[in-house]
Structure 1
């Protein structure tokens, strides 16, 4: 399992045992794995410090003394070490929406996604200049994606995204990217053109913001990316 490449053999065994059988005490894990309790304790405590497992009190100490007993379970980060099928599920949902409700139904969903993001972020940008909004938006994106940065040249401003958080889905259903383009258009009040994109093998997405092509945010809601980038946002 490639996600566990950085773990020791015993750490991998501990994680797999917890995943397969549920929360376990140190003694239970040692017995199942055929190693000493101390060996399991050392590796489990390290996994706990690194955020992969968490302890739960199984038995609290009594007034007469005794130590509490703990069982160890996977944290959400630990769960992510094991195979997940989020990408296929997301693609299936997109396809089912389009299949059941037609293109218009999918467009309504994408429009609502844009509206939600605008409601979240617009109050934080209100009253700012374009340059200030760009800097603030970059900071907002960097909260969840440290690989976003802002650049500028004589043609305008550029939001450069080196890491797409939903790349596997976007590669298969590029229409999803229209949410980002339309959201930026709404929040910045200017035409946004995605000049580089992962789908073309560029290894990143580059969104150029053209200050000389203003857009009325109250009149523009969402558009397919080709329309939003080239004509519909004018």
Structure 2
């Protein structure tokens, strides 16, 4: 059986790391850029020549970057002599550099919508949300606990979410729409969020406020037990 990929929880970390790159000094930025261009790693001598600083200074910078988890030791290359220490970027180090996933995601959704139409696109996004939501089910003794667990999960994914109560109803408020650019062009993207939340919580979710549609937050209300799958699908088609 194919394992399911868990709901990602590194969006906030990625944003933080990208801002940290801009906060680093010029020498450390240049060092990281040099390692980016040498994925198999490079030695201290090469870094000294590239950065025009001493061996001791290079090692001090490397020690600091290793402590942050952005650089690691790389396997030594056979030279016939004494092995030389080599260094390379870690996965977190690579994430310091800008990514543009939204562009290709938007183009992919355009292609899917053109091929499948509105209903087909909504169904595809719903299934994807259900798949990810089912990978890590949330548990709680009541709606308030479910909302708290859901807010924590969404917050890990970068939504800046909190659990709250309105009119006696447990809700989640998300202050950051992680798909904002996509959702402005493709309103069906919200189907992914709802399907994920409903599958993860086993509850019906009402999307009562939306940032893309002019709201101050994305508000998700916990609205009782989830419908059986076939009823849920019919309801989505009739929206």
Q: TM-score, normalised by structure 2?
A: 0.75
Which residue of the partner structure matches residue 84 of structure 2? 69
Q: Indicate which of 44, 67, 70 corresponds to 1:26.
A: 44
Which residue of the partner structure matches residue 43 of structure 1? 61
Unaligned 5+ segments in structure 1 are none
CA separation of 1:2/1:191 partners in 2, compared to 1, >3 Å: closer, same or farther?
closer
Q: For residues 101 and 218 of structure 1, what CA distance do their matches in structure 2 show? A: 21
CA separation of 1:27/1:201 partners in 2, compared to 1, >3 Å: closer, same or farther?
farther
Question: What's the Cα RMSD here?
Answer: 3.1
Unaligned 5+ segments in structure 2 are 1-17
Q: For residues 220 and 76 of structure 1, what CA distance do their matches in structure 2 show? A: 43
Q: TM-score, normalised by structure 1?
A: 0.77
CA separation of 1:167/1:48 partners in 2, compared to 1, >3 Å: closer, same or farther?
farther
Q: For residues 42 and 168 of structure 1, what CA distance do their matches in structure 2 show? A: 41
Q: Which has the higher contact order (CA 8 A, sep 6+)?
A: 2
Number of residue-to-residue matches in the alignment: 218
SS, match of residue 37 in structure 2:
helix
SS, match of residue 174 in structure 1:
coil
Displacement over 6 Å in runs of 4+: none
Q: For residues 29 and 191 of structure 1, what CA distance do their matches in structure 2 show? A: 54
Contact kept, 8 Å, 1:24 with 1:73, in 2: the verdict is yes
SS, match of residue 59 in structure 2:
helix
Q: For residues 36 and 171 of structure 2, what CA distance do their matches in structure 1 show? A: 44
Q: Indicate which of 216, 219, 225 corresponds to 2:227.
A: 216
